[in-house]
Amino acid sequence: MMEGHVCLVTGANAGLGFVTAEALAARGARVILVGRDAARTQAAATRMRQRTGSQAIDVLLADLSAQARVRQLAQEVLERYDRLYVLVNNAGALFTTRQVTVDGLERTFALNHLAPFLLTNLLLERLRTSAPARIITVASAAHVGARIPFDDLQQERHRYRGLTVYGQSKLANILFTYELARRLAGTRLTANTLHPGFVATGFARNNGAAARIGMTLLRPIMIGPERGARTAIYLATAPEVADISGRYFANRKPTESSLASYDQDAARRLWEVSARLTGLETTI
């Protein structure tokens, strides 16, 4: 059980995030649901309270593609909660066309990688003082075959391919997790990442009719969010992984990620670039 444990889940108004947050609430945790849309996130919280019987479900709003909102979210968490035991970086998206955030950054990289990088670093000291604590970042098997395009992180020099850029962002999630775990070695704070499976959610609804039709056609080979969330829930709650850090999981088991994901030079370089792009003056 997780009575009294404060847990934060991004992208928690639907899909994997909702199922993960609901499982934590059902185990007695106080859960912070982070979503972008106020109505949808509040509705998710109401539904979760009804289904779990828990009133310890809070809502915080943030468009995580905007760094000012990530910083505001972190500040709200630090002001309202004196402990944080679990951080689940779940929010993410795939865009079939190149888009730019309010910070002038390519949106997939900004939302899928820079947002969890910044949020984690801003909350790190609170997690550290709450230890034992866990950081979980949802990646994907889509990272296999990807490389980080350090010469074109903003996707300006080549034809934009949404799936390729998405795979790069998921590789960034894994490189970030492995580097974070190395930097946290010797502490009681763990960092792990995971592949949830090919999950049937509203993942593609932001990309127009063609993407929605494509995802509908693929539904027979997809799994539901309840099954897809099992590994994230396992990493957040299971006592047997309390001391495991810097691993990539699938189906609740540690497994090997791509060869590129173990490149420590690339991981350090990505960390330094990410710190610069997010304006972090100091990191661990």
- Positions annotated as catalytic residues are 166
Residue type, 244: I
Nearest by Cα to 18 from 86, 90, 66, 87:
90
| SS3 of residue 118 by DSSP | helix
CB 86 within 8 A of CB 235: no
The angle formed by the CA atoms of residues 124, 129 and 130, to the nearest 5 degrees, is 95
* Backbone dihedral angles phi then psi of residue 255, each to the nearest 5 degrees: -145, 170
Burial class (CB in 10 A: 0-12, 13-18, 19+), 68: exposed
Own/partner pairs, 56-61, CB within 8 angstroms, 24+ separation: 56/25, 56/28, 56/29, 56/30, 56/31, 57/21, 57/25, 57/30, 57/31, 57/33, 58/30, 58/31, 58/32, 58/33, 59/32, 59/33, 59/35, 60/32, 60/33, 60/34, 61/34, 61/35, 61/36, 61/37
SS3 57: strand
| Residues in Cβ contact with 15 at an 8 Å cutoff, skipping those fewer than 6 apart | 199, 201, 202, 203, 225, 228
